[in-house]
Amino acid sequence: MESLATILPFFRDVLGMPEVEMSDSDGARIAAVQSGESLIEFLEPESPDTPIGKYLAKRGVGIHHICVAVADIDQTMDECRAAGIELIDRTARMGAEGKRIAFLHPRSTGGILVELSEQ
C-alpha cells in the first residue's frame, strides 16, 4: 500500500490542488485535496486492526481511476513529465464527451490510475 506521503505530493504539487486539513477519529490518517467543488480524500490506516486497515487488508486499494479536469492538457502533461510522472498516453487523445484526455501511470501516482481531461 502506498503511503499518504507518496500519494499527496502528486495531487498537491504537480496538479496544484490545495490541501484541505482533515482529521479522523476512526484510526485513519486523512489527506484531502480540493478540486473545484470536489474533495478527494486519501486514507491511511493508523494500524492494521483499524476499520480502514481491515478494509484494505480484505479488499485492497479501492478505486479504479479518478479523472481530473485541467484547463490545458498539454501544459499539464509537460508539468507531469518534468516532475518525473510516467504517462501512459504520450499525447492527449479524444475521450468521453469529445474531451481531450490522457492517462498517467499508477506507478507514478501512488498506485492510482489518473485520467487528465481537458475542460
**Is pLDDT at 49 greater than 70 in this prediction?**
yes
Q: Can you identify the CATH homologous superfamily of domain 63-119?
A: 2,3-Dihydroxybiphenyl 1,2-Dioxygenase, domain 1 (3.10.180.10)
Q: Can you identify the CATH homologous superfamily of domain 1-62?
A: 2,3-Dihydroxybiphenyl 1,2-Dioxygenase, domain 1 (3.10.180.10)
**Is pLDDT at 30 greater than 70 in this prediction?**
yes
- pLDDT tier at 24, thresholds 50, 70, 90: low
CB contact at 8 A, 15 and 68 = yes
Residues of the chain with CATH 3.10.180.10: 1-62, 63-119
pLDDT digits (tens, 9 = 90+) for 84-118: 999 999 999 998 778 899 999 999 998 888 999 99
pLDDT digits (tens, 9 = 90+) for 72-91: 999 999 999 999 999 999 99
Give the mean pLDDT of 54-76: 83
